[in-house]
Structures are given as C-alpha cells and as structure tokens.
Amino acid sequence: PPPPGGSGEPVDHQALGLTDYLKVVSTPMDLGSVQKKLERAQYLSPDDFAGDVRLVWQNAIEYNSTASMFGVVAGILAQIFDRRFAMITKSAGLDPGRPIPDRPGWPTFQQKKKFYDICTKLTLADLNHMVGLVQQSCQGAVQQCGQKEVEVDVDELDMDTFNKVMQWATSKAKPVKAEG
C-alpha cells in the first residue's frame, strides 16, 4: 500500500481497499492537513504542530511496519523532523520569532542566507566536497545524521572557514540561465 499521508493527502483507504486502515490507525493525519491547519493558524503552539507531523510518521510506521519501505522512510523523516524542530525551537527560545543575532567575528545572517542560496545551486558531488572542506577546518560544524546524511551547522562556522567555503561554493555554483 502507499505510505499513509506520504503524498500530502489523506489516505483514501476505501478506494485503496485498505479495509483495516481505521482499525490500525486511530487518528489519521497527513502533511496536507498539517499545512492547511498551519495556514488557518489552528495550532495553539509549536508542540501541537509537531505532534501532528509526528503522527503522520507514526501512522505510516504503525500501518506498514517498521521493516517495510514506508516504515523505514517514515522513521528517517521522523528523525530529520525531530532534529530540525529541536534546532528551530531551541534558537527561537533565545529570541522568539527572530534568527540568532549576529555575533562579532562570525558570519552575519545576510552572509549565511547568501551562502544557503548558493548551496542550493551546487551539485550533490559539490555539496559532498564542501562538507569535506568544512570537516578539515571546523569539524564541530558537521553532524552525522543517519548513515548517509550529514548536516553543516552554519552557525558553528568560524569566519575563516565560512569565507573559505563561501569562496569555493561561489566558484562552483551553476549560474542561473536567464530566460528570454
């Protein structure tokens, strides 16, 4: 069966012939419903939002089993969500609604945003190489997240490393072709 909630739409268990779905999944939830609730400001707290997102992954695992392809993917997505949600709520607690304040001698918010925008234009091979560059000079900024995923915490990059990696990424970024 398809992953419950995986497409961003509620699982149409009747059309899919999943006669036992509501017996196994007591509270259906999908990412499309989460998005609608966000847009309508129906969440009273960040934890309410997180609870619904976690319910999507829990339902997929509960219905399909942890060993199924859908269960494995849901487990990975749950870990990624929990890690990123914790980072967001931790930094928001320092200064709610605002990015981490600029610190003297560290990259500014604008520099980090520009770096992020450049990184979106890099190939996977270039991103992997960039992680290697960061690991060489600022190992604390790289976190292993699962077997094949790493995360670079730009807030942990010292200015020298940031400038070196920014210069390298800028030279590698594919220019966006102008339409016309």
Convert the pLDDT of each residue in 8-59 to its tens digit.
Answer: 788 888 898 999 999 999 999 999 999 999 999 999 888 899 999 999 999 9
pLDDT at 53: 94
Query: What type of residue sits at position 134?
Result: V
Nearest alpha carbon to residue 119 among 177, 74, 172, 61: 172
Q: Looking at residue 176, what DSSP letter applies?
A: P
109-119 vs 159-172: helix axis angle to the nearest 10?
Answer: 30
pLDDT at 163: 93
- Residues 127, 152: Cα–Cα separation, whole Å: 10
Distances in Å between the Cα of 20 and the Cα atoms of 3, 40, 63, 111 are 15, 31, 9, 52
pLDDT at 25: 92
pLDDT at 55: 94
pLDDT at 3: 45
pLDDT at 1: 42
- Residues 58, 66: Cα–Cα separation, whole Å: 10
Spell out the residues 6+ positions from residue 70 whose beta carbon is closer than 8 angstroms to its own. Answer: 1, 2, 3, 4, 6, 60, 61, 64
Query: What type of residue sits at position 12?
Result: D
Using 70 as the pLDDT threshold, list the residues of the chain that sit under it.
1-7, 91-100, 145-147, 174-180
- Residues 71, 121: Cα–Cα separation, whole Å: 31
159-172 vs 124-137: helix axis angle to the nearest 10?
Answer: 160
pLDDT at 176: 56
